[in-house]
Chains A and B, each alone.
Chain A
Amino acid sequence: MATSTQSQPPALTFPRPIFAAVSPHPFLQAHLSADKRTPQRANGRTAHNSRRPGVNTGSLTHANGSAVVRLGNTSVVCGVRAEILREEDISGSSDFAVPTTPSDTDDQDGSKEIDVLRLVVPNVELSTGSTPSHIPGNAPSTYQQSLITRIRSLLLSTNLLRAKDLRILYTPTTNPDDPDEEPETQIKGYWVLYVDVFFISVDGSAFDAAWIGILAALRDTKLPRAWYDEEFEGILCSDDPAEATTLQLRGLPVPATFAVFEGQAEDGIEGDKDWILSDPDAFEEGVCRESVCVVVDGKKSVRRIEKSGGGVVGRDGMRELVRRAGERWSEVEQVLGGKA
């Protein structure tokens, strides 16, 4: 053996993890181009295969609603804590009157109310060691801040929460101005939802995991009955769990993240080929530059598209991705539906 290889240079072979660490791009490309018909990724999934989320709700005792979500090795804890914002503590709450018709028509106004008064406060925290790029003890990184911005704007733009659920109303027994007339209902306060997302580990598709966690936690959230007590002149909450109400969410927007892997032509033998990977893990996210996130509610209705980093996915590519996001929606709906 030793004599035979003497004449020619020894074959250059690495164990798998070293190949992945030394040259990640060719590593993934070698995996994907090995099988022409069903390209397989380094993590054993096919390009279209996404990880099935595991959801466990109500695991935190002191939160109003909570969920633990696992998406492969990405695991996230999401807790919703409701606190009361008193009317007198808000500047300019008189802008928002109690809607006269108790219907669903307060779509636009309700969303504005939640936005302006900041009735929902999302926050993202990465735990120490959750991802190698996160250095603990520093100010929140760009990545974290970007995640928070995306979560907050999606919460507002999908009108997920109803302002009606968060208002604490009070109708006096008699009208102080004119005892003969019907008393007017007033807003005495609001529930503010602090939505905290804590990443135990990040292995790609952090936004998807965070959002599924938030959805599950909000569906699990129970607000105690709160009322304004005339004699006490303050807001009181009921201790009885039977009186607590759950939040009525609007729709079920589900995100699907895709990463575009651009193959590099080797010696001109193989033409440039691109693969679009569903639900990328951290390794794939590190190699891919272009990413697309499609949020759908149901099979047809798109709520948000975010795409940046490259020009591979065009109009036709997007049609395919919207379809794939629709499939993802059914999968997530099934997982969440079983818990609700």
Chain B
Amino acid sequence: MAVPEVTLTHLNRADGSATYTHNGYSIIGAVNGPIEVSRRDEMPEEATLEVNVRPAVGVGSPKERHLESLLHNTLRSIILTRMMPRTLVQITLQVRSLPEEDEATGVNSTLTILPHLLHTSLLALLSASIPLLTTLTSLLIAVPTSSAPIISPTSTELLRAGPLQAVHVFAFAGDRRLLLNESDGAFSYDEWEEACEMAEEVCCSGGEGGVKLEGEGMDVDAQDGNLEEWLRGVVRRKVDWEQRWKKGT
């Protein structure tokens, strides 16, 4: 499994930003917050969250609204909104490009893009230093009718896999809780559980959610494609960059 490519904090007018590229999906995320909230949306005890998803082509459709509400629900559960009452955290996600075969796979495109949107918004939130309860990693699993499940398939793999029995999207928190699940197709509970275990394996690192000790070596490449390792690597590079002056002396 290829590891996503990330550029953090590259937009200098937003409080936090990230560009994320994986499997042909490229998304720019920007976060502004905490900022002033309009009177109508103001909540006395917590921050308001606003998510905007803009498609690669054209204006937003009901599909984008649905994605927004999924992202809103999920991110609201990991952002410490009670630490910033009566403010607004605004997340804008612009889909920059989709793989060419995206339409042809016949898979619900809400599901294929959802993990990427979740990752982008999390990275942008990290870049903006919004207080978070935990991190999040997400994954798509496709189960073809006649072969083994494919983890995080590319569109070409989906095309080649033939008829699919089920498609699952899972998102796990840093403490291995299942934050989001969207499953589609026809499957039994046991098949779902199997897919869920498989996703947890890839999304969460082997350690017990704590900080993993990894010697003094600075080069951490997520060789086994573990998403939490990858996320830790991204954050480590960000922190290293921010502290380069302190370290240089």
Q: List chain A positions with a Cβ less than 8 A from chain B.
A: 108, 112, 140, 142-143, 145-146, 148-150, 153, 156-157, 289-291, 297, 300-315, 318-319, 322
Q: Which residue of B lies closest to A307 (CB)?
A: B181
B181-A146 in contact (CB<8A): no
A309-B77 in contact (CB<8A): yes
Interchain nearest-CB distance for A195 vs B (Å): 14
A313 to B192, CA, bound (A): 14
A112-B106 in contact (CB<8A): yes
Q: Which residues B162-201 have CB closer than 8 A to chain A? A: 163, 173, 175, 177-189, 192-193, 196-197
B65-A146 in contact (CB<8A): yes
Which listed residue, A146, A300, A304, touches B66 by the CB 8 Å rule? A146
Which listed residue, A153, A307, A318, touches B108 by the CB 8 Å rule? A153
Interchain nearest-CB distance for A232 vs B (Å): 37
Enumerate the 10 nearest inter-chain pairs by beta-carbon distance, A residue then B residue, closest first: A311-B177, A145-B65, A145-B62, A149-B66, A309-B73, A305-B183, A308-B73, A307-B181, A146-B66, A149-B62
A300-B188 in contact (CB<8A): yes
Interchain nearest-CB distance for A139 vs B (Å): 11
B189-A145 in contact (CB<8A): no
Q: A149-B66, A289-B77 are in contact. Are A307 and B184 (CB under 8 A)?
A: no
Q: Which residue of B lies closest to A157 (CB)?
A: B184
Q: A157-B108, A303-B185 are in contact. Are A315 and B178 (CB under 8 A)?
A: yes
B68 in the interface, Cβ–Cβ < 8 Å? Answer: yes
Count how many chain B residues have C-beta atoms less than 8 Å from C-beta atoms of the other chain: 34
Q: A157-B108, A300-B188 are in contact. Are A305 and B66 (CB under 8 A)?
A: no
B70 in the interface, Cβ–Cβ < 8 Å? Answer: yes
Q: Which residue of A lies closest to B69 (CB)?
A: A146
Q: A142-B65, A157-B108, A305-B183 are in contact. Are A311 and B196 (CB under 8 A)?
A: no
Interface centre among B108, B185, B186, by most chain A C-beta atoms within 10 angstroms, is B186
B178-A314 in contact (CB<8A): yes
B10 in the interface, Cβ–Cβ < 8 Å? Answer: no
Interchain nearest-CB distance for A88 vs B (Å): 25
B76 in the interface, Cβ–Cβ < 8 Å? Answer: yes
Residues of A with C-beta under 8 A to B62: 140, 145-146, 148-149
Q: Which residue of B lies closest to A300 (CB)?
A: B188
B74 in the interface, Cβ–Cβ < 8 Å? Answer: yes
Q: A149-B62, A308-B74 are in contact. Are A319 and B193 (CB under 8 A)?
A: yes
Q: A302-B187, A305-B192 are in contact. Are A311 and B66 (CB under 8 A)?
A: no
Residues of B with C-beta under 8 A to A156: 108
Residues of B with C-beta under 8 A to A311: 77, 173, 175, 177-179
B65-A318 in contact (CB<8A): no
B129 in the interface, Cβ–Cβ < 8 Å? Answer: no
B63 in the interface, Cβ–Cβ < 8 Å? Answer: yes
B184-A304 in contact (CB<8A): yes
A235 to B188, CA, bound (A): 44
B77-A290 in contact (CB<8A): yes
